[in-house]
Structures are given as C-alpha cells and as structure tokens.
Structure 1
C-alpha cells in the first residue's frame, strides 16, 4: 500500500516537472503576444494556435508581465496597419512567430 502511494507521489512530481519545463519565459510570452497583434493587424484570421498558446502560458504570470504583453500586442497591431511596415511584420509573422503557433509542447523543443 505504501509503495503504491510513493509511486503515485513520484509520478505526480514527474508530471509537474514536465509541465514546468513547457512553460516559456516572460519575454517569450510577450513576443507571442506581439505575434498575435501582428497577425490581427495584417488581417490573418487564423490565430487559434496563438490564442491557445497564450491562454495556456498566461497561467501564473505576474500582472506586470500580462500588462506588458497587452501593450506589445496593441503596439504590434497598430504597426501592422501601416503600409510601410507591413512587409517586415509579415516576414516576422511567417518567421519568428511560427514557434508560437503550434502546441506548447512543440515550442519547448524549438
């Protein structure tokens, strides 16, 4: 009986460590928020991957990080409306932002 309880506790700790390993840094969270702003600004309608990533990664973030991520999102969205910056931001969206468009498990490996 005690062996089973110890095994369950160990399994729980291992699962918790794996979940913690998938968490991205605050800076990466803000970059992902910027990517969502770019996607919305250039008119990309499929932001489901980014939405899911941001929702999952939002848990446990400090309020100042969430506020900064929101301001990055808004700034990127405004930037994307400008014709002169659209090409550069589209390149960012199809380049660096691709890391945040899949499941969080894939992002941790990239």
Structure 2
C-alpha cells in the first residue's frame, strides 16, 4: 500500500513537471510559428527547433487551425521571396526568435519570470 502511494505521488510530480516544462502552445502561437518556419526555410535558416515545436503543437490543433498554419507557411514563403524580403528577414530575427529554439526555449520564454 505504501509503495503504491509513493508510486502515485512520483507519477503526479512527473506529470506536473512536464506540464510546467511545456506550456500549451496557443493557436495564435501555432500560426506564428508556422509563418516563421516559412520565412526560415526561404532564408536558408535551420528549422529544426521550430519543426519540433510545430510537431508537438500540431497534435492538439483543430483541422482548421492546421490548414491555416499551412496557408501561413506558404504566404510567408511568398513574401520572403518577393518585395517584402527585408521585412520578413527582420521578423525572423525579431518575433520569430521565440519559436526557432524549439519547445524547450519556447516554454522558458512563456513561463513567468521568478522574482528574486
């Protein structure tokens, strides 16, 4: 009985730790990350981090959000090749930075800072 209680407590802590380590990616963040992937691919930047983030976030998306993400990716690629190249390049180094590091860096950026 005591062993079962310890096992349940340990599993609860592990699940709670996983939830803290990876906050839920909102639909808006999913769409922004999709856009950033399109910009990065066109610019020739490594997309491993954003790919991992999108892969984990894709599982909990509705089909309409996934389709919109694909549309955002395609639109970003067109813009990165077209007349908006400077704008999207600046976006890659600015707003996209949070998504390019993958799920772990995204979780760290989204978690509230601890006051010391």
Please indicate the TM-score interval, normalised by the length of the shorter structure. Answer: 0.7 to 0.9
Question: Counting helix residues as a fraction of each chain, which structure ranks higher?
Answer: 1
Q: Which residue does the alignment assign to 1:30?
A: 31
Is it true that 1:14 corresponds to 2:13 in the alignment?
A: no
- Structure 1 gaps, min length 5: none
Whole-Å Cα distance in 1 between the matches of residues 18 and 73 of structure 2? 30
Report SS of the residue matched to 1:96.
coil
Q: Which residue does the alignment assign to 2:86?
A: 87
Whole-Å Cα distance in 2 between the matches of residues 69 and 103 of structure 1? 17
RMSD: 1.9
Question: TM-score, normalised on structure 2?
Answer: 0.79
Count residues with an aligned counterpart.
107
Summarize the alignment of residues 26-105 of structure 1 with structure 2, pairs less than 5 Å apart: 26-41=27-42, 43-82=43-82, 84-105=83-104
Whole-Å Cα distance in 1 between the matches of residues 90 and 38 of structure 2? 14
CA distance 1:9–1:68, shift in 2 (3 Å): same
Deviation at 1:106, TM superposition (A): 1.9
- Structure 2 gaps, min length 5: 110-116
